[in-house]
Chains A and B, each alone.
Chain A
């Protein structure tokens, strides 16, 4: 499985390098190479995930290495959706390097023990749904984050009127705003259902909805922040900078939820 993942990594790295070069050079031919390489990587990655699932006999979203690999796959998928819907390539220069890094780390981590914990959890049908929904929510919030950062950069260029090289490479403000808004709505919906499924899982197993575990607390904070953001955005047709800053801040919380909880220990720590 490792060799397949190495091939995936190679495809993503080629895609990332060409995407960054295309961002700098504005060459369409580079963009095409990046696009096809990414598609190849995604297909191989899908095969690798399915092979993992069949081979290891559990849904490939449990150990850290699996989670990172799955997250990378999700990010590529959501980027492809944005590309398809908005035809804006500027995101690839940011997304693909991160995807490559995630895949790389996933390969580095050696499969370890933890079979005990696995048997306890992963046998329930609700568990894969819970984790998958949340991973997809993270990917959606990543899109919100990237679109918000690009919005802030582009807005700054337009306000200061001293156009640097990035100005010509970033999409229009309304496009970025639209990407952020729709990704936010999708992300929040996924997060809500994901948290609810977690509560259901916990109540059926332990009889309680809430463990006061760091990951749960962060998830709740994240949910509140994005809920506020969606209300904030919908009370005016346009929020611009403020909403963009919140999109960035929200993602910091997402990272805390994803990694912070792991460092602080608690109920949600797995292999």
Chain B
């Protein structure tokens, strides 16, 4: 059997092309049924997300080329497109390359943001659609379960997804390095910029208990207060609320410092020096950078956040190199699994082959035996067959043993010894 993968992704094709090929869940399910013909393409699965459309299939032995051809035709027909539109963006992988590709996709090594967690869920969903459509069989089941295992290994053994790579999430990540837990901490949101709102949402998601919103426009602060279950506070009396805030996120359009050094000093002393974390997402800056000089106050402006983000991205890329090594070794393991899977039919074939030799010999030598009753004839034939079976039985049970133990080396030598093909 062969494994074939045909697809396009965000690296190979622009979004205009990707959206033409994209499949909805229903289209996946009906499409798979037309794609899988049982002859060339025996099993199939479609992963369709905003960044990629990939068709993964298991074909008969040495049918990789026909298989990929059939998949390409299927894409043309089912999407009613001319091949010129997307042909040049398609990539085709077979066998090890296809296995490696699906491993990399599910481990998020092929993603736009390396290490993002969604893609694994998307592969999972694609698999369950294929299961429902009845197009995932022996080979794809093994492959996809192995894929999940690889993705899990990559996630737990490398730091590929350990650090935040978006500015809005940085507030949570840094907050956790100052406060042991964000649960029970309070946030003061000054201004209602989009980025600040997003940061606040992440913080609330991480368990922050109290959200205060100060904005020049009462409407905006009322809206945000409702959204976060927080309270709108007066922008003019900011200094009164500052001491209560463990985390201050500031993004206003103001041209001067909204939080001054004096105000921060005062707030910190009223906090009895408990640490305070200031995040300034506004340009020009709204939080006096001199506050960073006050003990137990930590100030991050947009540039600081961006440089942390880019260092985290570099860290992820370093970790991705380690992840590639894991993928390499897993591809090799899967090769072995496949080889073992191919043995199943060979064992049956061996028994049949030996029995046929016995029968052929009987037919060949029949004349020399003289006249026999049909019962006697039958008797001799079954004697021959049972002799062959008795001789081959220990061999076959040993083969089954190596099959069960997935001992690829001895399986390979069995096949060479008996010249077996499936």
Contacts and interface: CB of A to CB of B under 8 A. Distances in A.
A173 B272 contact: no
B274 A161 contact: no
B295 interface: yes
A159 B275 contact: no
A2 to B, nearest CB: 39
Given A27-B157, A172-B179, A172-B180, A236 B273 contact: yes
Contact of A154 (B177, B272, B311): B177
A238 B177 contact: no
Contacts of A175: 180
A161 B273 contact: no
A167 interface: yes
A161 B300 contact: yes
B270 to A, nearest CB: 11
A110 to B, nearest CB: 45
A247 interface: no
Nearest to A26: B159
Interface in A203-251: 236-242
Contacts of B77: none
B177 A237 contact: no
A90 to B, nearest CB: 12
B163 interface: yes
Contacts of A268: none
B341 interface: no
B180 A171 contact: yes
What class of interface size applies to chain A in its complex with B?
20 to 34
Contacts of A236: 272-273
B194 to A, nearest CB: 24
A102 to B, nearest CB: 30
B292 A238 contact: no
Contacts of B311: 163
Contacts of B304: 161
Nearest to B173: A168
Contact of B275 (A29, A161, A174, A178): A174
Interface residues of B, number: 26
Contact of A158 (B156, B159, B177, B274): B177
A228 B105 CA distance: 58
A246 to B, nearest CB: 14
Interface string A141-166: 00000000000001000110101000
A66 B177 CA distance: 40
Nearest to B182: A172
B360 interface: no
Contacts of A161: 300, 304, 307-308
B20 interface: no
Nearest to B277: A158
B178 interface: yes
B298 interface: yes
Contacts of A158: 174, 177-178, 298
Nearest to B177: A172
- Of residues B174, B176, B180, which shows the largest number of chain A Cβ atoms within 10 Å of its Cβ? B180
Given A27-B157, A168-B162, A237 B274 contact: yes
Contacts of B178: 158, 172-174
B335 interface: no
Given A26-B162, A158-B298, A240 B180 contact: no
Contact of B295 (A26, A170, A171, A240): A240
A115 interface: no
A145 B163 CA distance: 28
B371 to A, nearest CB: 76
Contacts of A26: 159, 162
Contacts of A167: 177
B156 A28 contact: yes
Given A26-B159, A27-B157, A161-B300, A174 B179 contact: yes
Interface in A115-159: 154, 158-159
Given A158-B177, A161-B307, A172-B179, A240 B273 contact: yes
A178 B179 CA distance: 11
Interface string B157-187: 1010011000000000010111111000000
Interface in A56-91: none
Contacts of A238: 271-275, 296
A175 B177 CA distance: 9
Which 6 pairs of residues, A with B, have the shortest CB-CB distance? A237-B272, A238-B273, A175-B180, A172-B180, A238-B274, A174-B180
10 contacts: A163-B311, A168-B159, A168-B162, A173-B275, A174-B178, A178-B180, A237-B272, A238-B271, A239-B273, A242-B295
Given A161-B308, A167-B177, 11 more contacts: A163-B311, A170-B177, A173-B177, A173-B179, A174-B178, A174-B179, A236-B272, A237-B271, A238-B272, A238-B273, A239-B273
